[in-house]
Structures are given as structure tokens and as C-alpha cells.
Amino acid sequence: MPADLVTVVGVGADGWHGLSPAARAAVESAEVLMGSPRQLALVPPDLGVADDSGDVGAASPTDVPSEVVGRVRVAWPSPLSEALPGLLQEHRGRRICVLASGDPTFHGIGTTLTRLLGPDAVRVIPHPSSVSLACARLGWPQDQVQVVSLVGHPVERIHPHIQPGRQLLVLSWGAHTPAEVAELLVARGYGSSQLTVLEQLGGPSERVRTTRASEWSDDTNALNVIGVLCQSDADAVLLPTVPGLPDDAYESDGQLTKREVRAVTLSRLAPVPGQLLWDVGGGAGSIAIEWSRHHPTCRAIAIERDPDRAKRLDRNATALGVELAVVHGAAPAALDGLQSPDAIFIGGGATAAGIFDVCWNALRPGGRLVVNGVTLETESLIAQWYGAVGGDLIRLDVQRASPVGTMTGWRPAMPVTIWSVTK
């Protein structure tokens, strides 16, 4: 193994005995062994060989290559992301082997190292991932399962994926996660869902338990994966990931882009996986939230000058299962230094001096700008911008049925002018 090549070895709950010959050879030839304390403990201190009984015996001098007798073991510090570049630099020129759980490129350190060092400098020897092992136990097809990682994330992150009949595999953050998932399912009206907790997968202490989410109450090992077969109760509210959630899905003080307008607006913004949205004048955050719910990799920055609305926006995002970056401040000054976006929505503050020029200059080529207006002043500016750079201009009128005495009539909402343009 070249000294400048970092080898990443996936390790299962079965530890040293479950490693392939190639994985064992990579560990044995390493001069520096890195990993979590739990992962390092799975490797015998002397790297001895297993006898016929399965026990690890004492190593003879020939079992450990003479050039790695002084092998160094490095337990990951916290936070790892900040310390990792320094650790790699400190041991540069030595044969480094990094231990990871399961498949290192699946929500693992293998992906981080490849991003830091490049694919030519990293060799990955995978072990079956927790997802492949869980699907094997449950009899679920991997290509039809939605995987949600809660490692480092709030439990609400599973909200967009809770849909009738859907199969979810949730990567836990510890022993507390199954109870939190069960509680959230019950609160969403999915207490009838089948909940399976799979602990220590592939190891000698493996345990699999299945019950209804509403009936879960057991203690759990910290190393667990949760399988959820979503089953809605009769009164469950359907919250799909397409644009146009019910208005009452949001906490609001009235500054909310209404359902029908929101659906049209998002169709013009055209959410694309991996792209970034600026929601300028975020209000209740509905545009940024529904952009982010379109796909787990969609990202959004919401800019809101009112501190109470910014807090409310945060609460809405959490309740609907997305993580937004919220910038407190007034545009255009608050936009300074933000990452260039792929799409921009201006729902508030369109009359602020210089807002269009700042947004247009920040937008990436091929990016979409959408501005909604309900006042004459905003419409006047929209007309000027439309005349300068073109685009598409529509007016949306929505009427809702409501009681008129003992009968029913139509009540119109304020018309909304929607201007959209691609750079």
C-alpha cells in the first residue's frame, strides 16, 4: 500500500472476524490506524490471528510486519470535521488505515476523505452497510426504500418522507432515537405504522423487534437502525412534497404566500436537487420550506428582517422537516456575502432600493428570479424590470367559496402579479 494512499476499511458489528482478507491485510499493514474508540476496540491489540475456536490468539513476531511494530492508534477527536485535515497532515507519508462503520461511502467517513483528498488518494474496502443488512432482515427491496439519517439531525427530518405505504429506514443517532421516531409518528397520525428496531446488525448480539409505533416503549442499544412501514390513521393529514401545502400547515401572522399562489410560484422557481434558493422577505417561510421539501439536497436561505417572524419561520421549518439557513436582516444589505443562488424569490421588500440589481447580479447563469407583488408600487417596479430584462408576467386571481347568508358565494382574494425570468 503506497504511503500517500489512505485506505478506509468498513467494519461491521461482527468486528475483526467479519473482515475480508483484503480488509485485514490493509489493517495489518497500516502504520497509523484511525477510527472511533468503538471501532478501534474491534481490532485486536496485537492483531493476532484467530484459531479454530474463533478466539484471537497471541501474535508471533511474524504475524505483525516488522515495519509496523510501532503502529499508532488515533481515536477521533470531536468535532472531527475540524480536526481531520490536521490529523492527515500530521501523519502524512505514513500508511494510514481509517476504520468506518459498514460501507464507508454511505453516510460515512469515506465520502469525507474523498472530498478532502480526491478519489485517487483514497481506497475504500466496504463492508455491508446497515441499510443492506436491514433490508435483508426485513425482506425489503433496497431500491424502493427511503433512507433518512438522523445522525446529527433533529427527528423532524423524517417529516417529508412520512407518506402512506412508504418504507423508511432511519439511521439512528443513539438509543433515544426509536422512541423519538415512534412519538413523532403518533403525533402525525401514523401510530398504526409498523416499527422495526434492528440492533447490533450482523453482530453476535443482533436483535430485531417489531411493533406498532403507538406501542413502542422498549429500551434500545445505541447501535440501531429503524424500519418504518408507514400506515396512516383515519384522521392523518396528508402533507405531500409537491408545492401547495395547506395554509394551516404553517404558523403565520398573515405574512404567508397562500396555497394556490405558492404552487404557481414554486413551479416558476423550478426546484432542482442540489440547488440553492434565496427567499428574500421570508415571512412564514413557506416558499423556502416547500423548495427544500422537494428533494433532500435542495437548500434554501431565508432572509427576514423581523425577529419574531424569523423565529416563527424557524419553527415552521422544523415542524415540516427541513433545515433552513435563516439570515436576520433587511435586504439588500443582508444579502452581502451569501453563497450565489440558483433561484431567488422576492416575496417581501421588493421596493427596497437596489434590491433587483443585487439579486440579478448574484444569480447564477441559468438561475430563476421570481417576484410576487400585490401593491401598485411593487407592480410598477415589476413592470420596469420586465421591460429591462424580459421574462414572463402573469396575474393570478383566486376566489374561494364562502357562506353568503344561508347560501354560498365567491370571495376574491387580492390579485397577485407574478414575474419570472431566467438569467
Q: What percent of the chain has pLDDT over 90?
A: 84
Mean pLDDT, range 193-207, rounded to an integer: 95
Tell me the fold of 131-229: 3.30.950
Same fold yes or no, 131-229 and 247-422: no
Question: Residue 56: which pLDDT band, with cuts at 50, 70 and 90?
Answer: very low
Nearest to 80 by CA among 96, 98, 95, 102: 98
Among the residue ranges 65-69, 80-84, 314-318, 370-374, the one predicted with the least confidence is 65-69
Q: Are 190 and 162 in contact (CB under 8 A)?
A: yes
Integer Cα distance of 120 and 114 in angstroms:
8
- Kindly report the backbone phi and psi dihedral angles of residue 289, in degrees, each rounded to the nearest multiple of 5, phi listed first: -70, -45
Integer Cα distance of 150 and 228 in angstroms:
14
Which pairs with CB-CB distance under 8 Å and at least 24 residues apart come from 217-221? 217/179, 218/178, 219/175, 220/175, 220/177, 220/178, 220/179, 221/175
C-alpha cell at 379: 407592480
Q: Are 56 and 42 in contact (CB under 8 A)?
A: no
Integer Cα distance of 230 and 214 in angstroms:
12
Which numeric CATH code is attached to 6-127? 3.40.1010.10
C-alpha cell at 324: 433552513
Nearest to 48 by CA among 60, 30, 66: 60
pLDDT attached to residue 54 = 36
Mean pLDDT, range 161-169, rounded to an integer: 97
**What is the DSSP track for 71-90?**
-EEEE--SSHHHHHHHHHHH
Integer Cα distance of 123 and 373 in angstroms:
54
Mind listing the pLDDT tens digit for each residue in 220-278? 999 999 999 999 999 999 999 999 999 999 999 988 999 999 999 999 999 999 999 99
Integer Cα distance of 231 and 186 in angstroms:
11
Strands 392-396 and 407-412, bridge-based pairing: unpaired
Mind listing the pLDDT tens digit for each residue in 359-372? 999 999 999 999 99
- The order of strands in the sheet holding 6-11 is 72-75, 32-35, 96-101, 6-11, 122-125
Strands 368-373 and 343-346, bridge-based pairing: parallel
Integer Cα distance of 258 and 238 in angstroms:
18
Distance of CA 398 to the CA centre of its chain: 35
C-alpha cell at 206: 443482533
Domain locations along the chain: 6-127, 131-229, 247-422
Nearest to 163 by CA among 236, 248, 245: 236
pLDDT attached to residue 349 = 85
Nearest to 31 by CA among 93, 113, 78, 115: 93
| Residue 44 CB contacts under 8 Å (≥ 6 apart), including other chains | 16, 56, 59
**CA atoms within 13 Å, Cβ hemisphere of 4:** 5
What are residue 360's DSSP bridge partners?
Answer: none
pLDDT attached to residue 47 = 64
What are residue 167's DSSP bridge partners?
Answer: 229
Nearest to 385 by CA among 423, 416, 415: 423
Cα radius of gyration rounded to whole Å, the chain: 27
Question: Residue 57: which pLDDT band, with cuts at 50, 70 and 90?
Answer: very low
Mind listing the pLDDT tens digit for each residue in 369-390? 999 999 999 999 999 999 999 9
The CATH number corresponding to 247-422 among 3.40.50.12780, 3.40.190.10, 3.40.50.150, 3.30.1310.10 equals 3.40.50.150
Integer Cα distance of 88 and 256 in angstroms:
48
pLDDT attached to residue 53 = 32
Q: CA distances (Å), 202 to each of 195, 225, 266, in order?
A: 20, 12, 44
What is residue 389's three-state secondary structure? helix
Nearest to 246 by CA among 236, 238, 235: 238
Sign of CA dihedral 94, 100, 102, 106: negative
Which single residue is written with the C-alpha cell 439511521?
Answer: 171
